[in-house]
Structure 1
Amino acid sequence: MYAREIEADLTEVLVTEAQIQEKLAELARRIEADYEGREILLVGVLKGAVMVMADLARELRPHVRTDWMAVSSYGAGTESSGVVRILKDLDTDLTGRHVLIVEDIIDSGLTLSWLLANLKSRGTASVEICALLRKPDAARVDVTVKYLGFDIPNQFVVGYGLDYAERYRNLRDVAILAPHIYS
C-alpha cells in the first residue's frame, strides 16, 4: 500500500520506504562489524517488527538465527498501558546466545525495558536492541538502543508493520495517522 492511495487517512509521511531500506543497510553493516565471528539470534517482537526483522535479516550477510516473541501493552488503544503480557514466548533456549531484539518502535520504553530484563535473565551472552523508530518525547524509562533508525515526533504513526486496529501495517512508509481515524 502506498501513502498516496490513503492520503485522507494520513497527515504526513515521516520516513519513506527508500529511507528505511537505506537505514537498515547501514545498521546491518554496523551489526556485522560488531558481531564478527559470533552468531546472532534475532528476536523479533510481533507483530509490528515483522517488516523490520525481515528486511534487516535479508540485509545481513552472515547466517543469523531468528525467533519471535509476542508481547502486548496496547490492546486496541493508541497508548501503552504499561502492563506487559507475553502472548507468545520464544522457542529458542537463550543460554549463551548473543541476542539482538528487533523492534519497530519505542514509545514509552516500558515494554522494551521489561523485555530486555526478561531476556537477560535467561542466561544470554549479550542482549542488544535494534529499533527502527523511537519517540524520545514519549519516553518514560531510559532504554539503551545500540542500533537506531530514526527519532520521530510523539505522534501516532502507522506503516511498515505499525498498525492501528490491525490496519495500515502494509503501508510502505511510516506516516502520522490522521486523528479523525482513531478519535
Structure 2
Amino acid sequence: MIKLHDLEFEPYLGPEKIQDTVKQLAEELSKDYSSKTPIFLGILNGAFMFLSDLLKYYKGDCEVSFTKLASYKGTSSSGEVSTLLGAGNLKDRDVIVIEDIVDTGLTLEHIVSQLKKEGVASFKIASLFFKPEAYKKSLPIDYVGLEIPNKFIVGYGLDYNGLGRNLPEIYQLKSSIDD
C-alpha cells in the first residue's frame, strides 16, 4: 500500500508483467515496421517510461518525438484537451502514437485530428493500458498491451497530481467499502 497526497493505492501489476508486455508490443511493432523508419510520438508526461523501454526492445530504425497534452485533473478527465508542447514537422511520415493509457479517448481524438492536419503518411496508436469500459470514441487502438478495468492507476509514468510516475510497478486506487 502507498499513499500519494490524500489517496491510498494498492499493488496491481509488478515490473516483470509490465516489461513482458512492453517486449511483446516492441516485437509486434518491429515486425510491422521492418521496412519503414517510423517516428514514435510519445505523449507526455505519462508515456515517457513506456516509450523509453519500448525503444530498447524495438528492432529497427526509428525516430522519436514528443508532444505534451493535458486532460486530467485529479483522478478524472476534465473533458478538455490542451496542447502544451507540439511535436514538430510530421508531414509525410509514418507515426506511431505512444500512449501510456487510453480511457475515454478524448486525448486520442485530439492527437488524431492534429496528425491529419499535419498530413502524416500513416499513423497507428499503441497504448500500454486500455480501459474498454471507459472508452467513448471509435478510433481503433492498433496495439494494446493490457486491457484493464476502469479503475484509476499510478506508476510507471502514470501519476496522481504529479506523484507516482517514478514507481516501477502499477498501483490502483484502493477500493472503498462502499464500492
The TM-score normalised by the length of structure 2 is 0.90
AA aligned to 2:10 is T
| Poorly superposed stretches of 4+, deviation over 6 Å | none
Corresponding residue number in structure 2 for 1:49: 47
- Cα distance in structure 2, aligned partners of 1:142 and 1:12: 31
TM-score, structure 1 length as denominator? 0.88
Aligned ranges for residues 106-125 of structure 1 at < 5 Å?
A: 106-125=102-121
Q: How does 1:125-140 map to 2 (within 5 A)?
A: 125-140=121-136
The structure that is strand-richer by fraction is: 2
- The aligned runs of 1:16-35 (5 Å cut-off) are 16-35=14-33
Between Structure 1 and Structure 2, which shows a larger proportion of helix residues?
A: 1
1:78 aligns with 2:75: yes
Separation of aligned partners in 2, 1:111 and 1:61:
28
Cα deviations by residue, 1:32-74 (Å, 9 ceiling, x for unpaired): 1111211010000000000001000111121210011001111
Q: Secondary structure at the match of 2:127?
A: strand
Matched letter for residue 59 of structure 2: R
Q: 1:40 aligns with which of 38, 41, 47?
A: 38
Unaligned runs of 5+ in 2: none
Give the number of equivalent residue pairs.
173
| Structure 1 unaligned residues grouped into runs of 5+ | none
- Matched with 2:8 is 9
Q: Distance in 2 between matches of 1:127 and 1:90?
A: 14
For the residues of structure 2 that align with 1:22 and 1:11, how far apart are their CA atoms?
Answer: 21
